[in-house]
Chain A
Amino acid sequence: MDKTFRINVDGVDHAITADPAMPLLYALRNELGKKGPRFGCGLAQCGACTVIQDGVAIRSCVVPISAVRGKVRTLDGLGSIDNPHPVQQAFITEEAGQCEYCMSGWIMTSVALLEQNPDRSDAEIRAALAGLKCRCGTHMSILRAVKRAADEMASTETTGRRDD
Chain B
Amino acid sequence: MTKGLLDVNIERRDLLKGATALIVTVAVPVAAQQAIVATSTGVRVAERSLNPAQLDTWLAIDGDGAVTAYWGKMDMGQGVDTAIAQIIAEELDVDVDSVDVIFGDSARCVDQGGASGSSGLQRSGVAFRAAAAEARLVLLEKASAKLAVPLRRLTVSDGVVRASDDASVSVSYADLVAGTSFNEPISWNSKFGTSLELATRATPKDPANYKIVGKSVPRKDITGKIMATTEYLHDLKVPGMLHGRMLRPAVAGAHVANVDRESISDIPDVQVVVRNDFIGVVAANEWNAIRAARQLKVAWDESDAGFPTTSEDLFDWLRSANPAKSGVAHNNGDVDAGFSAAASMITAEFEWPFQSHARMGPAAAVADVRDDEAVVWTDSQKSFDTATGAKLLLDSIPDEHRSTDATFEVRSIWMPGPGSYGRSDAGDGAMDAVILSAAVGAPVRVQWMRHEGHAWDPKGPASVITCRAALDDDRNVLAYQFHIKGFSRRDQNSRENTPGDVLAGHLLGHESTPQWVMGNPADSYRFPSKRYSWDAVPPLRRQASPLRTAHFRDPYGPEVHFASESFIDEMAIAVGMDPLAFRLKHVADERDAAVLRAAAELANWVPRTAARRTRSDDGNLVGSGLAYAQRGGSVNAIVVEVEVNPDTGRVRVRRMWVGADHGLIVNPFTLDRTIEGNLLQATSRTLFEEVKFDRSAVTTDDWLSYPILEAADAPDEVLIKHINRPELGPRGAGEPTTRVVPPAIANAFFDATGVRLRRVPFTPERVLAALNA
B403 in the interface (beta carbon within 8 A): no
What B residues does A143 contact at CB under 8 A? 711, 714
Instruction: Indicate whether A38 sits within 8 Å of B419 (C-beta atoms), given known contacts A84-B226, A137-B676.
Output: no
Decide if A137 touches B418 in the complex (CB within 8 Å). Answer: no
What A residues does B450 contact at CB under 8 A? 40-43, 45
In the complex, A95→B667 CA distance in Å? Answer: 13
Q: State how many angstroms separate the Cβ of B707 from the closest Cβ of chain A.
A: 9
Closest to B678 in A: A137
A126 in the interface (beta carbon within 8 A): yes
In the complex, A102→B234 CA distance in Å? Answer: 13
Q: State how many angstroms separate the Cβ of B31 from the closest Cβ of chain A.
A: 11
Decide if B361 touches A39 in the complex (CB within 8 Å). Answer: yes
What B residues does A139 contact at CB under 8 A? 680, 709-711, 713-714
CB within 8 Å of B: which of A27-53? 29-30, 34-36, 38-43, 45-46, 48
Instruction: Indicate whether A95 sits within 8 Å of B287 (C-beta atoms), given known contacts A88-B227, A101-B419, A107-B226.
Output: no
CB within 8 Å of B: which of A81-110? 81, 84, 88, 91-92, 95-104, 107
Closest to B225 in A: A100
Instruction: Indicate whether A99 sits within 8 Å of B360 (C-beta atoms), given known contacts A127-B712, A129-B710, A138-B680.
Output: yes
Closest to A23 in B: B287
B232 in the interface (beta carbon within 8 A): yes
What A residues does B674 contact at CB under 8 A? 98
What A residues does B229 contact at CB under 8 A? 35, 81
> Using a Cβ cutoff of 8 Å, how many contacts connect chains A and B?
169
CB within 8 Å of A: which of B665-679? 669-670, 673-674, 676-679
Q: State how many angstroms separate the Cβ of B671 from the closest Cβ of chain A.
A: 11
What B residues does A154 contact at CB under 8 A? none
Decide if B76 touches A99 in the complex (CB within 8 Å). Answer: yes
Q: State how many angstroms separate the Cβ of B773 from the closest Cβ of chain A.
A: 31
B79 in the interface (beta carbon within 8 A): yes
Q: Which of B227, B234, B702 contacts A39 (CB 8 A)?
A: B234
In the complex, A18→B234 CA distance in Å? Answer: 21
Decide if B226 touches A102 in the complex (CB within 8 Å). Answer: no
In the complex, A34→B419 CA distance in Å? Answer: 20
In the complex, A161→B138 CA distance in Å? Answer: 54
Decide if A43 touches B703 in the complex (CB within 8 Å). Answer: yes
Instruction: Indicate whether A92 sits within 8 Å of B223 (C-beta atoms), given known contacts A136-B77, A137-B679.
Output: yes
In the complex, A97→B677 CA distance in Å? Answer: 9
Contact with B along A123-157 (1 / 0, CB 8 A): 00111011111111111111100000000000000
Q: Which of A39, A79, A96, A138 contacts B447 (CB 8 A)?
A: A39
Contact with A along B651-689 (1 / 0, CB 8 A): 000000000000000000110011011111111100000
What B residues does A127 contact at CB under 8 A? 712
What B residues does A42 contact at CB under 8 A? 449-450
What A residues does B683 contact at CB under 8 A? 137
A121 in the interface (beta carbon within 8 A): no
In the complex, A29→B290 CA distance in Å? Answer: 15
Interface size on B, residues (CB 8 A): 60
Instruction: Indicate whether A126 sits within 8 Å of B703 (C-beta atoms), given known contacts A98-B677, A135-B359, A136-B681.
Output: no
Interface centre among A91, A96, A101 (most CB of B within 10 A): A101
Decide if A135 touches B708 in the complex (CB within 8 Å). Answer: yes
Interface centre among B76, B79, B416, B673 (most CB of A within 10 A): B673
Contact with A along B209-245 (1 / 0, CB 8 A): 0000000001101110111111110110000000000
Decide if B228 touches A99 in the complex (CB within 8 Å). Answer: no
What A residues does B711 contact at CB under 8 A? 125-126, 129-130, 132, 139, 142-143
Decide if B677 touches A19 in the complex (CB within 8 Å). Answer: no
In the complex, A60→B227 CA distance in Å? Answer: 19
Q: State how many angstroms separate the Cβ of B216 from the closest Cβ of chain A.
A: 9
Closest to B268 in A: A2
A75 in the interface (beta carbon within 8 A): yes
What B residues does A23 contact at CB under 8 A? 287
B704 in the interface (beta carbon within 8 A): yes
Closest to A81 in B: B227
Instruction: Indicate whether A95 sits within 8 Å of B418 (C-beta atoms), given known contacts A48-B360, A135-B681, A137-B709.
Output: no
B715 in the interface (beta carbon within 8 A): yes
Closest to B674 in A: A98
What B residues does A76 contact at CB under 8 A? 228
What B residues does A130 contact at CB under 8 A? 710-712
What B residues does A38 contact at CB under 8 A? 232, 234, 361
A159 in the interface (beta carbon within 8 A): no
In the complex, A139→B681 CA distance in Å? Answer: 10
CB within 8 Å of B: which of A55-75? 74-75
Instruction: Indicate whether A102 sits within 8 Å of B676 (C-beta atoms), given known contacts A30-B286, A35-B230, A35-B231.
Output: no
Instruction: Indicate whether A95 sits within 8 Å of B417 (C-beta atoms), given known contacts A45-B702, A45-B703, A102-B360.
Output: no
Decide if B77 touches A97 in the complex (CB within 8 Å). Answer: yes
B626 in the interface (beta carbon within 8 A): no
Q: Which of A84, A107, A133, A140 contacts B708 (CB 8 A)?
A: A133
B358 in the interface (beta carbon within 8 A): yes
What B residues does A22 contact at CB under 8 A? 287
What A residues does B679 contact at CB under 8 A? 137
Decide if B703 touches A136 in the complex (CB within 8 Å). Answer: no
Decide if B361 touches A40 in the complex (CB within 8 Å). Answer: yes
Q: State how many angstroms separate the Cβ of B566 from the closest Cβ of chain A.
A: 22
Decide if A98 touches B673 in the complex (CB within 8 Å). Answer: yes
What B residues does A18 contact at CB under 8 A? 287
A116 in the interface (beta carbon within 8 A): no
Q: State how many angstroms separate the Cβ of A152 from the closest Cβ of chain B.
A: 15
In the complex, A25→B222 CA distance in Å? Answer: 23
Q: Which of B222, B230, B286, B712 contacts A95 (CB 8 A)?
A: B222
A158 in the interface (beta carbon within 8 A): no
In the complex, A143→B716 CA distance in Å? Answer: 10
What A residues does B360 contact at CB under 8 A? 40, 46, 48, 99, 101-102, 133-136
Decide if A80 touches B227 in the complex (CB within 8 Å). Answer: yes
Q: State how many angstroms separate the Cβ of B163 from the closest Cβ of chain A.
A: 40
Decide if A99 touches B226 in the complex (CB within 8 Å). Answer: no
In the complex, A97→B79 CA distance in Å? Answer: 11
Q: Beyond A92-B226, A126-B714, list 16 extra A-B contacts (CB 8 Å).
A: A22-B287, A30-B286, A41-B702, A41-B703, A79-B227, A81-B227, A92-B222, A97-B225, A98-B77, A126-B711, A135-B359, A136-B677, A137-B680, A137-B681, A138-B680, A141-B673
The chain A residues found within 8 Å of chain B, CB to CB, are 18-19, 22-23, 26, 29-30, 34-36, 38-43, 45-46, 48, 74-76, 78-81, 84, 88, 91-92, 95-104, 107, 125-127, 129-143
Nearest 4 A/B pairs, CB to CB: A98-B77, A137-B680, A137-B681, A99-B419
The chain B residues found within 8 Å of chain A, CB to CB, are 76-79, 218-219, 221-223, 225-232, 234-235, 286-287, 291, 358-361, 416-421, 447, 449-450, 669-670, 673-674, 676-684, 702-704, 708-715, 718
Query: What are 12 A-B contacts defined by CB distance under 8 Å?
Result: A26-B286, A29-B234, A35-B230, A41-B702, A81-B229, A84-B227, A101-B418, A104-B228, A130-B710, A133-B710, A138-B673, A138-B676
